[in-house]
Structure formats: structure tokens, C-alpha cells
């Protein structure tokens, strides 16, 4: 069991002062687009329907390559570069986002956007007044402090999205950063642990469901996906008594456990064992009575087409459209 203190120590180990170990604090992989063969830059992707991303040596803010964004997007903009990054779901961490962007015409606007896996999101626009590289970030509040980017309870991933708009044919992106810092607030109530198989082997990619009622896998209020070591932390908004259960494709549901959780208290422990069998489809979202979806439905339309990680295991796709 990881206590709140232990989690704080783990987080603190990752949050050295900026500059002390900059490479370790940046949560983005390949942030300067130096890695990759030819013109690719894994694991960056296109956010939207159209356009391309292409790593190029034609110019860069630092290093030998940058990313060229081409193709139409929304709001008269150029299509965006996107990364999906796991985050600390306990609320003990907030995030600083930044990048360098260049628009050859010297006009237009650069925009950094963020979306949490629960659908909450925000953004900041920076006017471009030069054809040189321009630093853009999440902006500041009325007191001059960085706009707060902190996950709401239960959010486990963030989409980091950058683009420019204003009728430009192309723009260039380099040296992106997503840096975690302590939030200074009590942790959310939640559950943590490790999912293993019957042989004691940690299971990556298992889903842990949390709900204030029995059969947590059905319409769970929060969920989390285990990492490569089978570890997870799932949080929610309110104190109380909850049910928690785990599942993975090709395995049966685990035994369900009732836990009592409270904000600021030690996270409850749940270390389930999954047995082989039970079919391939997620019983939490695949029933004869309803069609699976990855968005809230309002008056017959998709109202907020953001993704929920627990739904991606049944053939749904991720979208960053908003």
C-alpha cells in the first residue's frame, strides 16, 4: 500500500527545481522532435481530421530539427501537434505547459491547449508579432501566476495540444515542455494498488473501476489503467464508501472490494488478482442493452467529444476535437 506520504515522496523525487534536472522533469517524450527517421517524430500525432506533421531540418529553435505543421484545422487554423500524457490523478500535482512556435509570415496567433481525460479543458492564445521563434505558454492569472492546470478528481491523462491560426499555410514548433510542480492542496480521495495475474505477474493495461455503489464496472464514476508494472491510482471527487473492481481483456472481473476514502487521508489499498477467461469484450461497457460511447450524449448529439481511457478498450477512438 502506498500512503499519501509515500506518494508525495515519489512525486517530490520527480519535481526537482527547474534547471536542476530539466530533462527529467519534462514529461513529454521527444519534445524537440530530434528522434525519428526521415520526417517522423514519434510519438507526436495530428489533432483533428486533416493536415500533417513533419519533422524538418529546415529550421529549429534548438537542436537540428523542429516540427512543421501543415493543413487546415478549425478556427481558420493550422492542424495541431498532440501528445497524450499520463498524469498524477491525486491532485497533488499541477502542470506548466510551454513551447516555441514560429509563423513565417510574422502574424497570426499561437495557441496551447490542454484537455484532461474527464473532458475538462482550457487554453491560452499568444499573438505573433514577429517571424522569429516566439515563446508561448498557458498564460497567467490576474496576479501574474501561471494559469492553474490541475486534473480534476479521476482524470488520469492530459492531451497536450499546440497549433497556430489566423490564415497561415504552415507553422513550426520546437522545444515543448510539460513540467509537473506541487499543487499545494490536499490529495483527492482514492484507491491505489497493483493488479496481478494468478502467477503473481503484474498486469499492464488492466482497468480499475471506482463507483459509489455495487458493480463498479457498470457506469463507474472514475477509472484508471494500470502501468507497465501493474500499478494504478484512481481518485474521485467526494469522500465516502465506494466499490472498486478490476478487469482486463482475456481475464475475468476481479473480486469487488468496498473501501472508505477521504480527501487528504491515506489512499485505500486494492491489490486484485485476475484469473484468465471471461471473454474478450469489456463487460463494463459492452452490454446488449446499450451501445458503447466515449462521450456524454446531450439532446441526441455528442456534446463534449473527449475521450475516457476506460472506453478505449472496446474499439473506440481518441479525438481531440472540441
Q: Give the chain as a 3 state SS string.
A: CCCHHHHHHHHHHHCCCCCCCHHHHCCCCCCCCCCCCCCCCCCCEEECCCCEEEEECCCCCCCCCEEEEECECCCCEECEEEEEEECCCCCCEEEEEEEEEECCCCCCEEEEEEEECCCCEEEEEEECCCCCCEEEECCECCCCCECCCCCCCCCCEEEEEEEEECCCCEEEEEEEEEEEEECCCCCCCEEEEECEECCCCECCCCEEEEECCCCCCCCCCEEEECCCCCEEEEECCCCEEEEEEEECCCECCCCCEEEEECCCCCCEECCCEECECCCCCCCCCCECCECCCCCEEECCEEEECCCCHHHHHHCCCCCCCC
Cell of 249: 481483456
For 196, the grid coordinates are 496481478
Give the integer Cα–Cα distance in Å for 162 and 136: 10
- Residue-wise pLDDT for 85-97, tens only, equals 888 999 999 999 9
Work out the pLDDT band at 1, boundaries 50, 70, 90: very low
Whether 229 has a pLDDT exceeding 90, the answer reads yes
Model confidence at 211: pLDDT above 80: yes
Report the percentage of the chain scoring pLDDT > 70: 74
What is the pLDDT at residue 10? 37
User: Residue 43: is the preceding peptide bond cis (ω within 30°)?
Assistant: yes
Per the model's pLDDT, the better-predicted residue between 10 and 151 turns out to be: 151
Q: Give the confidence band of 311 by pLDDT, cuts at 50, 70, 90.
A: very low
Give the model's pLDDT for residue 316: 33
Residue 258 CA to residue 273 CA, distance in Å, equals 16
Residue 46 or 294, more confident: 46
Q: What is the pLDDT of residues 247-264, one digit of tens each?
A: 888 888 899 999 999 999
Residues 55-81 have a mean pLDDT of 82
Q: How far apart are CA 240 and CA 221, in angstroms?
A: 13
Domain architecture of the chain: domains with CATH: 4-182 (2.60.120.260), 190-274 (2.60.40.1120)
Residue 306 pLDDT exceeds 50: no
Q: What is the pLDDT of residue 299?
A: 33
C-alpha cell at 25: 522533469
Residue 96's pLDDT is what? 94
Q: Are 192 and 208 in contact (CB under 8 A)?
A: no
**In Å, what is the CA distance from 11 to each residue of 59, 73, 94, 107?**
36, 36, 11, 40
Assigned C-alpha cell, 118: 474527464
- Which of the two residues, 17 and 132, has the higher pLDDT score? 132
110 pLDDT tier (thresholds 50, 70, 90) = confident
> What confidence score (pLDDT) does residue 74 get?
55
Q: For the segment 15-57, what is each residue's pLDDT rounded down to a tens digit?
A: 333 333 334 589 999 999 999 988 989 888 877 656 678 899 9
Quote the pLDDT of residue 84.
87
Residue that wins the pLDDT comparison between 150 and 7 = 150
What pTM was computed for the model? 0.73
Least confident of 8-17, 34-43, 127-136, 151-160: 8-17
Q: Kindly tell me if the per-residue pLDDT of 303 is higher than 50.
A: no
What's the pLDDT score for residue 76? 58
What whole-number distance in Å separates Cα of residue 34 and Cα of residue 55? 8
Burial class (CB in 10 A: 0-12, 13-18, 19+), 68: buried
**Per-residue confidence band for 317, with pLDDT thresholds at 50, 70 and 90:** very low
Highest mean pLDDT among 10-14, 80-84, 179-183, 296-300: 179-183
pLDDT at site 72: 62
Instruction: Give pLDDT, residue 270.
Output: 97
Amino acid at each position: 500500500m502506498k500512503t499519501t506520504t509515500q506518494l508525495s515522496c515519489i512525486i517530490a523525487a520527480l519535481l526537482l527545481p527547474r534547471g536542476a534536472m530539466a530533462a527529467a522533469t519534462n514529461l513529454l517524450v521527444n519534445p524537440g522532435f530530434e528522434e525519428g527517421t526521415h520526417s517522423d517524430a514519434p510519438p507526436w500525432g495530428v489533432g483533428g481530421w486533416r493536415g500533417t506533421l513533419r519533422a524538418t531540418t529546415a529550421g529549429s529553435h534548438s537542436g537540428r530539427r523542429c516540427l512543421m505543421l501543415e493543413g487546415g484545422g478549425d478556427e481558420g487554423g493550422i492542424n495541431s501537434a498532440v501528445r497524450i500524457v499520463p498524469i498524477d490523478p491525486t491532485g497533488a500535482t499541477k502542470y506548466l505547459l510551454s513551447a516555441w512556435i514560429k509563423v513565417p509570415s510574422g502574424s497570426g496567433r499561437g495557441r496551447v491547449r490542454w484537455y484532461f481525460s474527464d473532458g475538462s479543458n482550457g487554453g491560452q492564445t499568444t499573438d505573433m508579432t514577429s517571424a522569429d521563434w516566439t515563446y508561448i505558454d498557458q498564460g497567467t492569472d490576474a496576479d501574474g501566476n501561471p494559469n492553474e492546470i490541475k486534473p480534476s478528481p479521476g482524470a488520469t491523462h492530459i492531451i497536450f495540444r499546440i497549433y497556430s491560426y489566423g490564415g497561415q499555410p504552415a507553422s513550426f514548433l520546437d522545444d515543448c515542455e510539460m513540467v509537473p510542480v506541487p499543487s499545494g492542496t490536499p490529495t483527492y480521495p482514492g484507491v491505489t494498488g497493483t493488479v496481478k495475474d494468478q502467477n503473481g505477474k503484474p498486469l499492464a493495461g488492466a482497468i480499475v473501476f471506482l463507483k459509489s455503489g455495487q458493480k463498479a464496472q457498470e457506469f463507474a464514476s472514475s477509472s484508471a489503467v494500470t502501468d507497465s508494472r501493474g500499478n494504478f491510482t484512481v481518485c474521485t471527487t467526494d469522500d465516502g464508501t465506494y466499490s472498486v473492481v478490476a478487469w482486463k481483456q482475456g481475464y475475468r472481473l476481479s473480486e469487488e472490494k468496498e473501501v472508505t476514502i477521504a480527501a487528504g487521508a491515506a489512499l485505500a489499498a486494492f491489490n486484485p488478482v485476475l484469473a484468465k477467461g471471461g471473454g474478450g469484450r469489456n463487460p463494463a461497457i459492452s452490454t446488449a442493452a446499450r451501445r458503447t460511447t466515449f462521450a456524454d450524449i446531450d439532446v441526441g448529439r455528442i456534446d463534449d467529444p473527449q475521450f475516457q481511457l476506460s472506453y478505449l478498450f472496446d474499439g473506440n477512438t481518441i479525438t481531440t476535437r472540441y
